[in-house]
Chain A
Amino acid sequence: MAYPKGKLSEEKVFKDPVHRYVHVRDALIWDLIGTREFQRLRRIKQLGTTYLTFHGAEHSRFNHSLGVYEIVRRIVDDVFKGRPEWDEGERELVLSAALLHDLGHGPFSHSFEKVFHLDHESFTRDIILGQTEVNEVLRRVSDDFPKHVAEVIAKTYQNKQVVSLISSQIDADRMDYLQRDAYYTGVSYGHFDMERILRVMRPREDQIVMKQSGMHAVEDYIMSRYQMYWQVYFHPVTRSAEVILTKILHRAKELHETGYIFTHAPVHFYSIFEGNVTTEDYIKLDESIVLFYFQAWEDEEDHVLADLCRRFMNRRLFQYTEFNPNEEMTKYFKLTALFKEAGIDPDYYLVVDSSSDLPYDFYRPGEEEERLPIHLLTQSGHIKELSRQSDIVDAISGKRRTDHKLYFPMDLIVDMSEKAEEKKAIMKLLGLG
């Protein structure tokens, strides 16, 4: 079944710095963009705390979601249209899923999920299936259309071609965020020839494959992704801001649980603290709300909460040093003891943070890594796995890179004039003395 309103009388366009224009002809897509749940994404930054490192990174999940939609639209309307192995009947479904794939992201998702054990994917599903404006629009297509959209996003939809366009090792989501994040951060990584990749994509049986002639463009995409992860996404300063953000949330939750009376009562957080957050509570929470509380909490009586909020709001972040957990666990335990002796709570001020990425992987039978590989389509019609054809990709395939850092407040350590012995020992252990 199709959307009753069909096509718009005139095409709508959004100016976009990455794709130049985002084109909307379908009334379904236009109506989805107008829902309150989708508009909320304007108030959620795509890269969380990264703006504290790269000041340009203020772009939102709204921009990115439109970008993913536009890439998928180009694929299905310009590349796949008329190809016998692509089911034209899936067009509205895949476009809706592309647009809505990040709908359940909350403010600073990564930290919120970690502290409160939330899952943005489950909120995406709840918003799509619950009593929301998005659900109302989707149900105009058919009663089970919202369910199918949720299945595509959750990767449980039966047509794997549709799923692969939104989530696989080379999908519209990644192609948009790499270029968009590179543009807004201003880094020179993250650029690749997307037009070329789109032109060589082909639907085949239950997957999307790349014509072998486009292999070098795919190599470039894999390398861009690799560089963006280590230069932007895992930047140690961004991680420092995230460490502090996470600790603020922990502290606020802990204070709430112990009956502390906040000067600025965190009413928007109560259901999250108590583990009974509803979809509506969640939709109401955005970054403006979170930052409002952080600013208010700068004046709280609890000195840990106030200090952490001041650090976050005024970008007075923790310093860091390399940390090797395999060899330095004893050092960590010694530092914990010294921090306690110095009156600095190590639960909030001594943090090991780890980042890890696997740039590309292929499926090895029996190894249960469960990643769908990128397949190349040779001129003779055979399917070959990318890393078997590309030496560059082979060099980084299956190689996980992990980085551990130890974060600490340098200013508090420098101020430990009354605890000279402990200060000296801490500085020495941190490699600063």
Chain B
Amino acid sequence: MLKEHAKLMKVFSESGEIVGRKKLQKMIYIAKKLDLPFYEKYDFHFYGPYSEELTLRIEELCNLGFLDEMKEKKGGYFQYRYSLTDNGKEFLDQCEVDMPDLKVLTQQMNEQSSRFLELVSTILYFDDLPKDEVKEKVFTIKSKQRYTDEEFEAALAYIDQLKELN
């Protein structure tokens, strides 16, 4: 029971506080695409890959008192901060989480902006297409985000970097 929840808790224990639901969604998706054993089901939504299952698990972890969610007003919208509670740390200590070392990877991703991770995860979502098509696709369906060529190239380089880390 709670095996998949424990894996998510491991992410918080390795990366520390994560700010923003979007960032969290994209971090787990990217980790999944790097073949780490996360099994949340993802679909393509407004901001790229999004998992309702992940949202639900995070909500359950908050209800169980294992995860702390802080809602804060930022400009015209709300932002959420997540961190592991003492109870969560205690529970995680008792769990055997079968997971490779996540520390460097999750910390690396956590330092990026959610806008950038949105681009990275969207590129990974279309990773079966040739590079030119991926670019065209990203620029078409993400036109509102106005990503630049430089950002696109930086995202590709970042993906290579993450793959090497893994």
A residues adjacent to B (C-beta < 8 A): 113, 117, 119, 121, 154-156, 158, 325-326, 329, 332, 352, 354, 356, 358, 363-372, 400, 402
C-alpha gap A45/B104 in the complex (Å): 45
**B50: which A residues are within 8 A, CB to CB?**
370
Shortest Cβ distance from B75 into A: residue:
A366
A334 to nearest B CB, angstroms? 13
B60, A365: Cβ atoms closer than 8 Å: no
Please list 22 pairs of residues, one from A and one from B, whose beta carbons are closer than 8 Å in the complex, sorted by A's number. A113-B41, A117-B39, A154-B44, A155-B43, A155-B45, A156-B125, A156-B126, A156-B137, A325-B60, A325-B64, A332-B1, A352-B1, A356-B56, A365-B76, A365-B77, A366-B74, A366-B76, A367-B77, A368-B20, A369-B21, A370-B45, A371-B45
Measured in the bound complex, the distance between the Cα atoms of B141 and A156 in whole Å is 7
**Chain B residues whose C-beta falls within 8 Å of the C-beta of A356 in the assembled complex:** 56
Most B CB contacts (10 A, CB to CB) among A366, A369, A371, A372 go to: A366
Least CB distance from B108 to A in Å reads: 21
User: Could you tell me if B140 and A121 are in contact, using CB atoms closer than 8 angstroms?
Assistant: no
Which residues of A sit under 8 angstroms from B1, Cβ to Cβ? 332, 352
Contact (Cβ within 8 A) B39 A366: no
Interface of B is mostly: mixed
Smallest CB gap from A121: residue in B: B43
- Residue B55 interfacial (CB < 8 Å): yes
Give the interface SS of chain A, mostly helix, strand, loop or mixed. loop
Residue of B nearest to A351 (CB): B1
Distance to closest chain A CB from B127 (angstroms):
13
Contacts of B44 in A (CB 8 A): 154-156
- Residues of chain B touching chain A, judged by Cβ–Cβ distance below 8 Å, are 1, 20-22, 25, 39, 41, 43-47, 50, 52, 55-56, 59-60, 63-65, 74, 76-79, 125-126, 137, 140-141
Q: Which 5 pairs from chain A and chain B are nearest by CB? A: A366-B77, A370-B45, A368-B21, A370-B46, A368-B22
Contact B65 A367 (CB under 8 A): no
Residues of A with C-beta under 8 A to B56: 356, 400, 402
CB within 8 Å for A400 and B59 given contacts A119-B41, A155-B45, A368-B22: yes
Tell me the minimal C-beta distance from A36 to chain B in angstroms.
24
List, in ascending order, chain B residues with CB within 8 A of A113's CB.
Answer: 41
Cβ of B64 and Cβ of A363 under 8 Å apart?
A: no
Partner of A326, one of B65, B79, B140: B65
Give bound CA distance, A326 to B2, whole Å. 12
Residues on B with beta carbons closer than 8 Å to the beta carbon of A367: 21, 77-78
Does A368 contact B25, Cβ atoms closer than 8 Å? yes
CB distance from B126 to the nearest CB of A (A): 8
Chain B CB within 10 A, most for which of A113, A158, A325, A370: A370
Complexed CA–CA distance, A368 and B63 (Å): 20
CB distance from B97 to the nearest CB of A (A): 17
Verify B141–A366 contact, CB threshold 8 A.
no
Task: Compute how far the CA of A155 lies from the CA of B45 in the bound complex, rounded to whole angstroms.
Answer: 8
- The answer to whether B43 touches A363 (Cβ under 8 A) is no
* Cβ distance B136 to chain A, nearest Cβ, rounded Å: 10
CB of B135 to closest CB in A, whole Å:
14
CB of A158 within 8 A of CB of B77, answer no
Residue of B nearest to A129 (CB): B128
B55 CB → nearest A CB, Å: 7
A117 contacts which chain B residues (CB < 8 A)?
A: 39
Q: Nearest CB to that of B94 among chain A residues?
A: A333
Kindly list chain B residues whose C-beta atoms are within 8 Å of the C-beta of A325: 60, 63-64
With contacts A156-B141, A332-B1, A370-B47 known, what are 13 further pairs, Cβ within 8 A? Answer: A119-B41, A156-B126, A156-B137, A158-B141, A325-B64, A326-B63, A326-B65, A352-B1, A368-B22, A368-B47, A369-B55, A371-B45, A372-B46
Q: How far is the CA of A155 from the CA of B42 in the complex (A)?
A: 12
Complex contacts, B140 vs chain A, CB 8 Å: 158
B residues less than 8 Å from A365 (CB atoms): 76-77
Query: How close is A155's CB to chain B, nearest CB, in angstroms?
Result: 5
**CA of A134 to CA of B63, assembled, Å:** 46
With contacts A325-B64, A352-B1 taken as known, whether A366 is within 8 angstroms of B78 at the C-beta atoms is yes
- Complex Cα spacing A364 to B79, Å: 11
- Are A364 and B78 in contact, CB atoms less than 8 angstroms apart? yes
In the bound complex, how far is the Cα of B53 from the Cα of A113, in angstroms? 13
